[in-house]
A and B are shown apart, each in its own frame.
Chain A
């Protein structure tokens, strides 16, 4: 899906939500920001520095972390070793890296499972691990790609709590989400994509009343 003239910003310390019907270009936009694709035109800036087209590892080192919609735990190593990879990206010392790892496992509530193989985690725990691992790289901006996908209502509630907790620590978040209720309750601002174009942007309560948005998307699935 191609994007056309989509221009947006995220304020430091803000949670920006991105929604749109299937095929609206959410993933394309997300991937452009995360460095998976290089945009054909346009620029992306982070902290005043141009980062357009930088590979993902450089973005990570600059302070942009991401999670994957389909989680990508390192299955055959332990939860703690998974964490170490993230923690050591900026930390050179192994002991210090372990401390950071344990700290973030505690933060997401996985400390008791640190010695399990990641393959033995449930989907919800895998998502938690993915989040903790991203946080361990000490990012300033966190990109979340459909973290709610595949979770039941109880798990969603827990995940929302966790996102708020991450935000309370001062994190800036860019959240792509399919589950409307979730994104509306957690975002400060919401941006709506449709056919690769931005059709609305604003506070969640304004977005749900926007006629264009209702026509494009909300009318079918959102029951406020």
Chain B
């Protein structure tokens, strides 16, 4: 089967899914998968394709969530507009983390991202006159499309599906464009890339800003979905690590890796919660075990394993039909 046709069937199945399995509880988890797939796909642009590990992506997410929320609760501006403004504000913030660190080699960028998220979290708590501090902001639930809300999980299903596909598409576009070749080169060898005319610092900044933009947009959507945000929930180290974890587990620098990683992450959350819900930090133990296993056995992520299996099966099947034809 041609890849385009199978992709078409896959997308049709995704569209029909809520009707095939109309259980809100299940759809909620699927939504979580798409949610993480979108955020991780955005993370993957800077950390996967460009190889600049970020452990502070919750910062950009927070910028989006708080911008649209504050504009909505304070000034009645629809979160649709707030989402765009938040995404735009995340650009200079991303630049701030990248500009001083991308000229250096080594772990400076990852440290800057951790610091950025932590500083932002502290600021949200400190300026409680604006942000309501640690108590967080409760958003009204209207279930209306006008305010970026849906009456039920099925509505959100399509929103998250579109966002996940959109950001994965952006990743694909980045990977298979002129910029994509330079990004690959940058990840492989900075000196050689620079000798071939690649402006490394600007390229990293561009990748980071694209990444931050979509992460922030997801933050706005998240705020309207959960109707509640507070610094510890959206701007936590835990959330940043979850994003990176999904990215690494799925397969860094691959187009569909974030999707696979999101599936694993959400499944492990569900399993972890049911098996070890009573144990404090049980889910983290599961995360750690998964991370060690994948990094040791398949450093290219679970998607590498899936692709290999697919190729193996395809070979077996075509081999068998060829023998049959010969007989």
Chain A: residues with CB nearer than 8 A to chain B? 34, 55-57, 60-61, 65-66, 68, 72-77, 81, 84-86, 88-90, 92, 94, 97, 133-134, 137
Interface size class of B (residues with CB under 8 A): 10 to 19
Is there a chain A Cβ closer than 8 Å to B191's Cβ? Answer: yes
- In whole Å, how far is B46's beta carbon from the nearest beta carbon of chain A? 18
Q: Interface centre among A66, A88, A97, by most B CB within 10 Å?
A: A88
B178 touches A94 (CB 8 A): yes
Give Cα A73 to B188, complex, Å. Answer: 8
Chain A residues with Cβ under 8 A from B3's Cβ? none
Contact residues of B between 185 and 217, Cβ < 8 Å to A: 185, 188-189, 191-200
Cα(A97)–Cα(B196), bound, Å: 14
Chain A, Cβ-Cβ closest to B190: A72
> Complex: how many Å from CA A86 to CA B199?
13
Name the CB-closest residue of A to B199.
Answer: A57
B positions within 8 Å CB-CB of A = 177-178, 181-182, 184-185, 188-189, 191-200
Cβ contact within 8 Å between A57 and B184: no
Looking at chain B's contact residues, the main secondary structure is: helix
User: Would you give the shortest CB distance from A64 to chain B, in whole angstroms?
Assistant: 9
A-B contact pairs, 19 of them (CB 8 A): A34-B195, A55-B194, A56-B194, A57-B196, A57-B197, A60-B195, A60-B197, A65-B196, A68-B191, A68-B192, A73-B189, A73-B192, A74-B192, A77-B184, A88-B178, A88-B181, A88-B182, A94-B178, A97-B178
Q: With CB as the reference atom, state the residue of chain B lying closest to A85.
A: B185
Cβ B188 vs Cβ A66 within 8 A = no
Contact of A72 with B192 at beta-carbon distance under 8 Å, contacts A84-B181, A85-B184 already known: yes
Complex contact A72–B189 (CB within 8 A): yes
B191 close to A57 (CB less than 8 A): no
B194, A68: Cβ atoms under 8 Å? no
Give which listed residue, B177, B178, B200, contacts A57 with CB less than 8 A. B200
- Closest residue of chain B to A71 (Cβ to Cβ) is B192
Complex partner residue of A81 from B181, B197, B198, CB under 8 angstroms? B181
**Neighbour of A60 across the interface among B177, B185, B196, CB < 8 A:** B196
